[in-house]
Amino acid sequence: MGRSCSNSDGCQRIAVLGATGSIGTQTLDVARRHPDLVKVVSLAVNSHVEKAVCLAREFGVGNLAIGDESRRDDPALAGLPAGCRVGFGPEAVRELAQLDGTDLVLNALMGAAGLEASYATLKAGKVLALANKESLVVGGDLIMPLATHETLLPVDSEHSAIYQCYLGENPAEAYRIWLTCSGGPFRGMTRDELAQVTAEQALAHPTWTMGPKITIDSSTLMNKGLEAIEAHHLFNVPVDKVKIVIQPQSCIHSMVEYVDGSIKAHLGAADMRIPIQFALSYPHRWETPCPRIDFATLGKLDFFEPDYETFRCLTLALDAGRTGGTMPCAMSAANEVAVAAFLAGRCRLTDIDAVVQTVMEAHRTAPVESIAQLEEVDAESRRAASAALLALG
């Protein structure tokens, strides 16, 4: 399926949800590099109104959504380009995904808020470039029945790599997925050492530049557990067929092993613009946005087993994925609350998994039935996580 857009100039018309975050910013950089191939028609942000207005003017967008309704009277809105429509609140963000004149929606919203946007995008028949983990971790049972191989393109570097390793292959002949992990900044630490880590230290990821929440998730290895659940949904494999391996150089982005013992690996620079660009260009490839790797000087590639005892968030996430139903929703909500508390200095890094475990143990799992049901589970789990934090003292 060729996905060049249907308008006369041949550009891919895209909406960027989460335009001022790490993924959104890098998406717009790709758009700047390929103005003849990408046209940004809509932007959504949460609260960075002044920056959003600057971007709206730069790209000449026709639609802007501000998730934070309290920003309705922000004076920066006076600088919007003529003809640019602006809406406020979560509904306005979702509506961007359904507008005519949009070919692809890149969903880089943070947290569970991205689920409804992903659902709306696929229901509207648009292509979804997905960088929002919770869409699949929380709502994979709702999202995947709406998606096809060519209407849902993963943006995470690992899932983009797996997607590309499947190209030209029979998925039924895959034996397992090797999901690679940098190991984060604290690989090799003991549990006691991990308990002393500060937020500043945890935010210093060794190879990737990301937003604060996902950076903390990477330091606890929760992020890798979430990605295993995503891979389970995206590629229709059991969670236990997703094997996690630490690859500190972040050069191998993931691998697929086939039944005959052959393994296809996707390698490249540790630059998120590569998988972002692939999602925008598929089934074609455009000139690289970053320096190329010189394998003659790379030196070595290392592989290690994760420490599941020290990094308990990884174990908990995998347990949630195996349980399925509403359990991943409860786990994800509890993690968001605990990570926010750690970033605010209200708990230790090792308290994050304690809070998640408490919420998971109390949760009564049910089959996923609707977004409304998941919203209730999310709210209940956040309340339970807040109570667990208070109990920790």
Q: Which pLDDT tens digit goes with each residue over 360-379?
A: 999 999 999 999 999 999 99
- Grouping H, G, I as helix, E, B as strand and the rest as coil, residue 177 is strand
What span, in angstroms and rounded, lies between the C-alpha atoms of 345 and 33?
A: 40
Structural tokens at position 223 = 């992020």
What span, in angstroms and rounded, lies between the C-alpha atoms of 259 and 251?
A: 24
What span, in angstroms and rounded, lies between the C-alpha atoms of 7 and 102?
A: 10
Q: Which pLDDT tens digit goes with each residue over 220-279?
A: 999 999 999 999 999 999 999 999 999 999 999 999 999 999 999 999 999 999 999 999
What span, in angstroms and rounded, lies between the C-alpha atoms of 286 and 3?
A: 14
**pLDDT over 70, % of the chain:** 96
DSSP E strands in 248-309: the ranges are: 252-258, 263-267
CA torsion angle for 169, 170, 176, 177 (degrees, to 10)? 40
Beta-carbon contacts of 167 under 8 Å, excluding residues fewer than 6 positions away, are: none
Alpha carbon 74 to chain centroid distance? 29
How far from each other are the two terminal CA atoms of the chain, in whole angstroms? 55
Q: Which pLDDT tens digit goes with each residue over 140-198?
A: 999 999 999 999 999 999 999 999 999 999 999 999 999 999 998 899 999 999 999 99
Confidence of residue 4 (pLDDT cuts 50, 70, 90): very low
Please give the pLDDT value at position 211.
Answer: 76
What span, in angstroms and rounded, lies between the C-alpha atoms of 227 and 242?
A: 9
* This model's pTM is above 0.85: yes
Confidence of residue 3 (pLDDT cuts 50, 70, 90): very low
Residue 323: pLDDT over 60: yes
